[in-house]
Amino acid sequence: METKIKYTDWQMNEIPVSEINAIKQYQKRYFVDGKEIKSELFINQEYDSTYYYINGREDVQQILRDNPNAHFSFSYENSGYEISETLHYENAILIDKMVYVDETEPDGASICWAKVKFKDDAEKVVEVEKYYNVNGERKYLFYYDSDGNCEKIYGEDDVTEDVWPSQIGIRPDVTFTWEGFEYYRHALPLIPEK
């Protein structure tokens, strides 16, 4: 087993150990046989938090016994999509998680990001963004209200106009329709149904 430690800035650029005292925020990243297993975040030379890169939730409880404020990241495939989750714990209690949904084909583009809060073992999706891509380029960003309905559609390139969903089918100059965009109309489900 080969273990390596790398220091990186926030943009993941590697930095020499001799320079970390001059950097406001950096990560100390641990690798075993080339695979990252954890990273420690330092802000103003003070330890802030640790992210563990795990294979699944089975490793969580063991790590929480030693580090009850740990963060975890893991990925899995579901219905042809790559799902990544980041779990945040405080005092060994799950506080929130981030969910990222990426296409596996054709170009691995991101299609969804969500923040989920936990309180009294109840899960509540509090923020969602969905993305529609054409040929690997983002064309639309969909943003949702607190009820999970699409609130605004942002054109993400120079030629695509922003759309207010309340105007779809009402104003003749709004050419966007929900046909073919059913997944984007509401915040849930996070993973498209095939």
CB atoms within 10 A of CB 114: 20
d(CA 164, CA 49): 40
d(CA 147, CA 88): 24
Write the pLDDT tens digit of every residue in 80-127: 899 999 999 999 999 999 999 999 876 778 999 999 999 887 899 999
Q: What is the pLDDT of residue 40?
A: 96
SS3 content of the chain, % helix, strand, coil (to 5): 10, 50, 35
Q: What is the pLDDT of residue 177?
A: 92
SS (H, E, C) 71-122: EEEEEEEECCEEEEEEEEEECCEEEEEEEEEEECCCCCCEEEEEEEEEECCE
Write the pLDDT tens digit of every residue in 17-60: 999 989 999 999 999 999 999 999 999 999 999 999 998 777 79
* 151 burial level (CB within 10 Å; 0-12, 13-18, 19+): middle
Which residue, among 62, 59, 63, has the nearest Cα to 49 in the 3D structure?
Answer: 63
* Partner residues linked to 123 by β-bridges: 118
Helix (H, G, I), strand (E, B) or coil at 182: helix
Q: What is the pLDDT of residue 25?
A: 94
| For residue 172, cis peptide bond before it (omega within 30 degrees of 0) | no
The dihedral over CA atoms of 100, 104, 108, 109, expressed in degrees to the nearest 10, equals -50
Q: Copy the structure tokens of residue 93.
A: 């209690």
Which residue, among 53, 99, 103, has the nearest Cα to 79 in the 3D structure?
Answer: 103
Q: What is the pLDDT of residue 106?
A: 67
Write the pLDDT tens digit of every residue in 138-188: 899 999 998 999 999 999 988 888 999 999 999 988 889 999 999 999 999
